[in-house]
Chains A and B, each alone.
Chain A
Amino acid sequence: MEQEAKFSWSSIFEEAGNQVGFMGSFVRNMFRGGFEGNELIRQCYNIGYKSFSLTAITGLILGMVMTLQSIPTMKQFGAVSFVPAMVSISVIREIGPVIIALICSGKIASSIGAELGSMKVTEQIDAMEVSGANPIQYLVVTRIIACTFMIPLLTLMADALALLGGYIGANLGGHISLLLYFNKAIASLQFSDIFPATIKTIFFGFAIGFIGCYKGYNSNRGTESVGVAANSAVVNASLWIIVLDGIAVQLTSIFAYS
């Protein structure tokens, strides 16, 4: 039993060490000459544009459901007029970034993990390396940067659609004009709600790209490992998002709301 615990700890430290090494390799190659601009654009398209519909629908329904769920309770307190403000603050501060990041970790981290994992299994990464090209620069740097750029944009777009969804939800059971709804929703928001929430999505994006690349690039040989890489990329990226969110909330509480 003690031996199992020891093995577990050593593998955790080994994994942490490997991740730090991979991070170092990413940083070193990011500032090296021969940046892969075209591949970065292609990855931004794959990661951003191809996730647009998923995140848009999620955002829209998220706002609508939150509004519909809140109205009956708020009615009891005679505070229905606060629903737009409540939905906008909760979506923009917390629910929007986290939900979109978790959805993207399922879609993007798994896809990166599986893609790089299968490239590893079929020796494409080795082929790149032995040809003298730099696989980290071509495969890893571009994907991590694309995720870091695109996740905040997707989140901002989903947040806006969540407010629109809130407006639709409010109009399903009553009537409120678009202008009034958005006035109430936006008037309640402050810079300290939007800025920290957007900053944390940059870290979420980085975590999704980094974990996806790390798991795929370091997968074992054999077809089974492609599935393992995709699965562990999602699990680890989701875990990192939750942990980073916890840290971000603490930091925001200290610096933004104190």
Chain B
Amino acid sequence: METKTDTEQKVLPDKGAENNKEVVIKIEHLKKSFGSNEVLSDITVDLHKGENLVVLGRSGQGKSVAIKCIVGLLYQDSGELTVFDQDVKSLNETELKELRMRVGFLFQSGALYDSMTVRENLEFPLTRVKKMDKKDELDALVNEVLEGVGLPDAIDKMPSDLSGGQKKRIGLARTLILKPEIMLYDEPTTGLDPITSREISELILQMQKKYQTSSIIITHDLECAKITGDRLVVMNDGKFIAEGTYEELENSKDELVKSFFIKK
């Protein structure tokens, strides 16, 4: 029988209002360990259609592990994880590939393919996954996403010629080119200066509106959380300790939650 901690009881809001929204990702009592190191001890959360859910927490708390479980890069030890009502752990290779086409993942570093130009990076998922081979169609889609992220001139550059912020933008463009329904962002503003961080956060919001995606944004950047988040969950020691809007959590009486919102 699960019992909530005092912190959870104080901060977690009534979920009744959210019950009428379609759930696209459902995570229940997810646990994951690496050897004796328990990274996710018990996390439960839903992502609703069209919402931006921010997972806030210090580094090394298992935030990235949680979203890697969503796309089947890692598998949970126990608990349930369904995406579009499909149990990720039980999907076969083909089903997982189909699911991944509907879920975009922006990696912390952008993860651009070093040996390819920006154009080749963007065409890669289209030619391999969507089996597109007509040059005019490819060009149109590549130009559309590059315009969207504000880097149309970077089309023939190599990743090594791009700045950190540009790499994130191109990484985002490469993910959005498949028109995913869910976006997972792993620390999208880490390693960027405050101005570029704000630009990326605003870009995430713009892209969410343009492509009508539901998103999970993993971050420890409060400004990014404030700009992008419809709802925030705070993660500590492998579990969620609080949930609410940015304002609700900012005004929380709980010491641990408050400690995340102390501005330097």
Q: Do A131 and B124 touch (CB < 8 A)?
A: yes
| Residues of chain B lying within 8 A (CB to CB) of residue A118 | 114
Of B104-112, B148-156, B255-263, the one with at least 4 CB within 8 A of chain A: B104-112
CB of A50 to closest CB in B, whole Å: 14
Q: Do A119 and B114 touch (CB < 8 A)?
A: yes
Of B13-21, B48-56, B95-103, the one with at least 4 CB within 8 A of chain A: B95-103
A122 within 8 A of B: yes
CB of A200 to closest CB in B, whole Å: 31
A118-148 at interface with B (beta carbon < 8 Å): 118-119, 122-124, 126-134, 138
CB of B240 to closest CB in A, whole Å: 23
Number of contacting residues on B, CB 8 A? 25
| Residues of chain B lying within 8 A (CB to CB) of residue A126 | 68, 73, 105, 107, 111
Q: Do A124 and B113 touch (CB < 8 A)?
A: yes
**Contacting A138 at CB < 8 Å: which of B108, B109, B128?**
B128
Q: Do A123 and B128 touch (CB < 8 A)?
A: no
Q: Do A129 and B73 touch (CB < 8 A)?
A: yes
| Residues of chain A lying within 8 A (CB to CB) of residue B98 | 132
Residue of A nearest to B105 (CB): A130
| Residues of chain B lying within 8 A (CB to CB) of residue A173 | none
Interface of A is mostly: helix
Give the complex CA separation of A118 and B112 in angstroms: 12
Q: Do B114 and A124 touch (CB < 8 A)?
A: yes
CB of A146 to closest CB in B, whole Å: 14
B71 within 8 A of A: yes
Residue of A nearest to B178 (CB): A131
Q: Do B113 and A130 touch (CB < 8 A)?
A: no
Q: Do A130 and B109 touch (CB < 8 A)?
A: no
A124-B112, A124-B113, A124-B114 known; A133+B107 contact, CB < 8 A: no
CB of B227 to closest CB in A, whole Å: 24
Q: Do A132 and B101 touch (CB < 8 A)?
A: yes
B164 within 8 A of A: no
Residue of A nearest to B106 (CB): A127
Give the complex CA separation of A119 and B114 in angstroms: 8
What is the total of A-B residue contacts with beta carbons within 8 Å? Answer: 59
Q: Do B125 and A132 touch (CB < 8 A)?
A: yes
Q: Do B128 and A122 touch (CB < 8 A)?
A: no
Give the complex CA separation of A32 and B225 in angstroms: 43
Residue of A nearest to B71 (CB): A130
Residue of A nearest to B73 (CB): A126
| Residues of chain B lying within 8 A (CB to CB) of residue A129 | 73, 100
Q: Do B111 and A132 touch (CB < 8 A)?
A: no
B129 within 8 A of A: yes
**Contacting B125 at CB < 8 Å: which of A119, A124, A131?**
A131
Give the complex CA separation of A133 and B129 in angstroms: 6
B45-81 at interface with A (beta carbon < 8 Å): 68, 71, 73
A127-B105, A129-B73 known; A134+B128 contact, CB < 8 A: yes
Give the complex CA separation of A230 and B103 in angstroms: 33
B170-222 at interface with A (beta carbon < 8 Å): 171, 174-175, 178
Q: Do B73 and A130 touch (CB < 8 A)?
A: yes
| Residues of chain A lying within 8 A (CB to CB) of residue B108 | 123
A174 within 8 A of B: no
A126-B107, A127-B107 known; A133+B128 contact, CB < 8 A: yes
Give the complex CA separation of A32 and B35 in angstroms: 35
Give the complex CA separation of A122 and B110 in angstroms: 9
Known: A122-B109, A123-B108, A124-B111; 11 extra A-B contacts, CB below 8 A, are: A34-B128, A118-B114, A119-B113, A123-B107, A126-B105, A129-B73, A131-B100, A131-B125, A131-B129, A132-B125, A133-B125
Closest 3 CB pairs of A and B: A127-B111, A133-B128, A132-B129
